[in-house]
Chain A
Amino acid sequence: MLDRRATFWALLLPPLLWLGIFFVAPLLLMAAISFRADLSGEMLRPWVPTLVQYADLARVGSYWRLLGISALVALMIAMSATALAYPISYYLVFRAGSQANLYLLLLLIPFWTSYLLRVMAWKFMLGSGGVINSFLLYTGLIQQPLTALLYNRSAVVLTLIYVWIPFAALPIVAALQRIELSLFEAADDLGATPARRFWRVTFPLSLPGVLAAFFMVFIPTVGEYVTPLLVGGSRGSLYGNIIQDFFTKAGNWPFGSALSMIMLVFTLLLVALALRVVDLRRLVV
């Protein structure tokens, strides 16, 4: 029989290796490349670290502005997706009864199709010959198709909220399921109205799930680039699109890496700040 220490390492080593090789090492490599002047010569030749990429980046105000906009857009999407996912989760856990598993399955069905297809579907919804325009034209409410529905930042926000709702629901469902039902009885016995019971008992106890949902949406959305590319139009670009351009169009990895590192640090700072403002322990207790 393995002793405790050996078991510990046997269990920990495979995921640690996996994360190390495919997450930590590439991240370190990217950080290292951001301190490189250019990519000429051997890929792994030694180079003198330089801050030239960061100095170049500091000069372009529009990138910083776009980073701010991307964070705001991500904040809006994360808050909306979480807020919309909450009632769904609440219904699933407390109201759906024996149908809960069926509804959960229905919620997850969109995951069976590709992310790209789900984004493309919004082109069919919002396009000038799309579902919404055809309907409005049919009812005679408009004479010309509305062109303002697609190819702008609102379309990006709308699409991403839709894409993220099922993701956001999962941690909230998990948090709600953990709540002891006897706590509700206690609240009722003590004379709480249903609304008061929700705000004083249910909601605070589900907050860890809500926060998990929020950050799960917020963090990846700051760097989002596929959806703006498909439905964002000329003015819908986000910071992720700029990073993508330097990697896949310019082949300028050092500058792309510097842009990515700035985004990483910026996002981590925002999350740290948010966790400080929203004091988890104070809320839960």
Chain B
Amino acid sequence: MHRMFRLITAALGVVVTSALCLTACAPAATAVPPTTAVPPTEQTGSLTVLDWAGYDAEDFWTDFKSTYPKVTVNFEIGASDADIYAKMKAGDQADIFHPYTGWLQFYVDEGLVEEIDTSKLSNWDKVPDSFKKIGQINGKQYFLPWDWGFTSILYRTDKVPEGITSWSALMDPRFAGHISMWDDGPGAVTVSTYIHGYDETQVTAEQLAAIQQEWTAQRDLNLFYWAGEPELIDAMASGDVWVAYAWQGAYAALLSQGVPVAYANPSQGRNSWVGVYGIRKGTKNYDLALKFLDDKLAPATGNNVVNLFYYGHSNQDVMNGITDAALKEAFSIDDPAILSKTNFTPNLTAEQRDAWTAMWAEVKAAP
């Protein structure tokens, strides 16, 4: 009996060590031969992209596919910014990853991202400087801006004929039971800072406590916290939700379904976010990854982002070419001042991210 126990503990020891080793020494990426001399159509190799569900569709990298038909592109799916960050942090071997504004500083601080050599990008001059800046951390271009959009209040014009002019509509008792907030702590903090005029980058402990109270009270007006856009779109189309925190993808989708909705221009300004691509530090496929990102900026891919996802693209030529009325409306393309009335999402610090998510968890757990 004693001997068997020893055997089992020994076996478990082996198991634990090998499991730890699995996490630590993940397989290295396939090396790709130098890219010189080989024409693109003949180039082989493979790239791994850590991206969000849906972005793996070929529509969103169609230019790369046609230029480099023999390169295999593999996708790993991340569920959220935190998930993608956690994966990269745990040693994920993806060559390219796709975080959003708010999360960029962490990758640079933890040494997970390689600087982008923009001199090798043929489409880089199509990207406006305001977008380029978003991908710069500590003065270096670590990220390539790619998709962008607004956050604002989406509402049913038949249920709220007087319109919406403030972010505080999310806390308006008139809409009790017909409000839907995004299930996200930083999102909630952002809304409160707009309403009360707090500095979003310097929220104090007292302000955070007030924000927690505000959202705890809001909970009884809120029907449900939405996690994914389709869930929100369904509830707004059915008329259960009248007023919601939403991205303009939901707005464009509801417009095209013929649902009477409008996308508010709150007096405090809309929020705006940008999705960027980063290249993993230490990747053996750096040159190929650069080519992938360059083609991500190309027009066919950009048009698909705009037309299929209803999101903005960082290639200005693509945006200037939009003719569809619903899309023009969604991006407020005809309002030349829209970007100056918009609040860009600033980068979070680790302390803010933890404190704000904890605040949100306590809102949900409150009696």
Q: Which A positions have Cβ atoms within 8 angstroms of B?
A: 13, 16-17, 20-21, 24-26, 28-29, 38-41, 43-44, 60, 62-63, 65-66, 127-129, 147, 151, 229, 232-235, 237, 241-242, 245-253, 255
Contacts and interface: CB of A to CB of B under 8 A. Distances in A.
Interface in B1-33: 8, 11-12, 15-16, 18-20, 22-24
Contacts of B20: 25, 29, 44
A245 B357 contact: yes
A233 B224 contact: yes
B82 A248 contact: yes
Contact of A26 (B19, B89, B224): B19
Given A65-B365, A234-B223, A245 B360 contact: yes
B223 A151 contact: yes
Interface of B: 8, 11-12, 15-16, 18-20, 22-24, 79-83, 85-86, 89-91, 110, 177, 183-185, 219-220, 222-225, 227, 238-240, 350, 353-354, 357-358, 360-362, 364-367
A187 B177 CA distance: 58
Contacts of A233: 222-224
A245 B354 CA distance: 10
Contacts of B22: 21
Contacts of B220: 234-235
B11 A43 contact: no
B92 to A, nearest CB: 11
Contacts of A24: 12, 15-16
Contacts of B85: 251
A62 B366 contact: yes
A128 B238 contact: yes
Contact of B239 (A128, A234, A247, A249): A128
B210 to A, nearest CB: 17
Contacts of B86: 247, 251, 253
Given A16-B11, A25-B15, A245-B357, A250 B365 contact: no
Given A26-B19, A44-B24, A128-B238, 16 more contacts: A21-B18, A24-B12, A25-B15, A25-B19, A29-B20, A60-B358, A127-B238, A151-B224, A229-B227, A233-B222, A234-B220, A234-B364, A245-B360, A247-B86, A250-B353, A250-B358
Given A13-B11, A24-B16, A237-B364, A252 B238 contact: no
Among A63, A233, A247: residue with most chain B CB under 10 A: A233
B240 A128 contact: yes
Given A229-B227, A234-B225, A250 B23 contact: no
8 contacts: A21-B22, A24-B12, A24-B16, A25-B19, A129-B238, A229-B183, A241-B364, A250-B353
B365 A20 contact: no
A199 B79 CA distance: 51
Nearest to B18: A21
B361 A245 contact: yes
A171 to B, nearest CB: 28
A25 B16 contact: yes
Contacts of A251: 81-83, 85-86, 89, 353
A250 B357 contact: yes
B357 A249 contact: yes
Given A16-B11, A62-B362, A250-B354, A235 B219 contact: yes
Contacts of A234: 219-220, 222-225, 364
A62 B360 CA distance: 12
Nearest to B109: A40
B367 A65 contact: yes
Given A250-B185, A251-B86, A20 B16 contact: yes
Contact of B24 (A28, A43, A245): A43
Contact of A252 (B16, B79, B227, B357): B357
